[in-house]
Amino acid sequence: VQVEFVGQILVVVHVVVVLVGFQIVVKVQKMVYSHERKFVQLRGLD
Secondary structure (DSSP) of 13-45: HHHHHHHHHHHHHHHHHHHHHHHHHHHHHHHHH
Mean pLDDT of 28-33: 94
Structural domain including 24 reads 1-46
pTM over 0.75: no
Residue 11 has pLDDT above 80, yes or no: yes
Q: How confident is the model at residue 13 (pLDDT cuts 50, 70, 90)?
A: very high
Q: How far apart are CA 29 and CA 26, in angstroms?
A: 5
Number of domains comprising the chain:
1
